[in-house]
């Protein structure tokens, strides 16, 4: 439990990402958010920011351009090994980039469901889906650490890009993921971890929205996954995200990581 009111944290997150959803495509990644340069006001375009965190240019050109916001810390679809006919759930789906990339991989025989708690993001994603002619996707509103609006034991794969660290109760979020996955189903999560915990007194709402103050250590992050009931936990990738910037991270080292686990 954090010392800030959980609802205040969620209110700040909704406000931050609601603004990003309403920005035009040229500066969507310029606000405080989970993206390269966000904390420091970096001027990368959304496409440039997306390539920095792992997306291929060809991938970005294959999806609606309004879905490319340049936010996130990785490219989870690249590691998910999605198969034709699978049911995929993307948590914190934003404007839909990973939903649309997944939809191509699972084909019309599969389905992809994006979950987000920000109305503006959901509206933008639905417009993108309609304009892009995607018929095997949908977007639902939900708080992933309360109740993900998905039936028990129904998803083959859960993906997420720099979203779990925004939650105030990581174990509950992972328990919800565990609930909606089929037996043998997998989750592949891109997220941020830090080299040490932040003191409760130092938590800042804006920095939480920037995916910094809500980070766990790698050990605590994996422990939270294990506590939720997952097995075969493995780290697929680790990359330095931010280090030694006192004003932004309190001097901590922030690492982008991709974690896979199986129900």
Domain annotation covers residue 1 = no
Top pLDDT among 227 and 211 is at: 227
Domain annotation covers residue 186 = yes
Q: What is the pTM (predicted TM-score) of this model?
A: 0.90
- Tens of pLDDT, residues 69-109: 988 999 999 999 999 999 999 999 999 999 999 999 999 99
Q: What is the pLDDT of residue 206?
A: 75
- Tens of pLDDT, residues 12-63: 888 888 888 887 654 444 444 565 544 434 446 888 888 989 999 999 999 9
Domain annotation covers residue 221 = yes
Domain annotation covers residue 198 = yes
8 A C-beta contact, residue 66 and residue 95: yes
Domain annotation covers residue 114 = yes
Q: Is the pLDDT of residue 245 over 80?
A: no
Report the pLDDT averaged over residues 236-244.
Answer: 85
Quote the domain boundaries for residue 54. 6-262
Report the pLDDT averaged over residues 179-185.
Answer: 98
Q: What is the pLDDT of residue 26?
A: 47
Q: In which band, very low, low, confident or very high, does the pLDDT at 216 lie, cut at 50, 70 and 90?
A: very high
Cα 19 from chain centroid (whole Å) = 17
What secondary structure, in 3-state letters, does the chain show? CCCCCHHHHHHHHHHHHHHHHHCCCCCCCCCCCCCCCCCCCCCCCHHHHHHHCCCCHHHHHCCCHHHCCCCCCCCCHHHHCCCCCCEEEEECCCCCHHHHHHHHHHCCCCEEEEEECCHHHHHHHHHHHHHHCCCCEEEEECECCCECCCCCCCEEEEEEECCHHHCCCHHHHHHHHHHHEEEEEEEEEEEEEECCCCCHHHCCHHHHHCCCCCCEEHHHHHHHHHHCCCEEEEEEEEEEEEECCHHHHCCCEEEEEEEEEEC
Report the domain count for the chain.
1
Q: What is the pLDDT of residue 250?
A: 64
Domain annotation covers residue 205 = yes
Return the CATH number at 200: 3.40.50.150
Q: What is the pLDDT of residue 248?
A: 60
Residue 214, judged by CB atoms within 10 A of its CB (0-12, 13-18, 19+), counts as buried
Q: What is the pLDDT of residue 41?
A: 41
Q: Is the pLDDT of residue 190 over 80?
A: yes
CA distance 247 to 233: 33
Domain annotation covers residue 24 = yes
Q: What is the pLDDT of residue 9?
A: 79
């Amino acid at each position: 439990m954090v010392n800030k009111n959980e609802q205040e944290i969620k209110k700040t997150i909704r406000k931050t990402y609601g603004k990003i959803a309403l920005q035009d495509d040229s500066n969507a990644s310029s606000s405080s958010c989970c993206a390269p340069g966000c904390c420091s006001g970096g001027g990368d375009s959304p496409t440039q920011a997306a390539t920095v965190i792992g997306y291929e240019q060809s991938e970005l050109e294959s999806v609606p351009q309004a879905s490319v916001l340049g936010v996130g810390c990785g490219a989870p679809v690249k590691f998910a090994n999605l198969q034709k006919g699978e049911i995929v759930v993307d948590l914190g789906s934003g404007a839909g980039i990973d939903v649309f990339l997944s939809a191509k991989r699972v084909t019309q025989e599969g389905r992809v469901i994006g979950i987000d708690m920000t109305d503006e993001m959901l509206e933008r994603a639905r417009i993108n889906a309609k304009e892009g002619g995607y018929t095997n996707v949908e977007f639902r509103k939900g708080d992933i650490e309360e109740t993900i609006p998905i039936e028990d034991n129904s998803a083959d794969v859960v993906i997420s890009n720099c979203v779990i660290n925004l939650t105030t109760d990581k174990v509950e979020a992972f328990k919800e993921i565990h609930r909606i996955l089929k037996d043998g189903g997998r989750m592949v999560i891109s997220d941020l971890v830090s080299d040490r915990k932040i003191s409760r007194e130092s938590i800042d709402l804006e920095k939480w929205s920037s995916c910094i103050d809500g980070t766990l250590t790698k050990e605590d992050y994996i422990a939270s996954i294990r506590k939720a009931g997952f097995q075969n936990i493995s780290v697929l990738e680790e990359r330095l995200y931010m280090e030694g910037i006192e004003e932004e991270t309190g001097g901590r080292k922030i690492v982008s990581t991709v974690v896979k686990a199986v129900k």
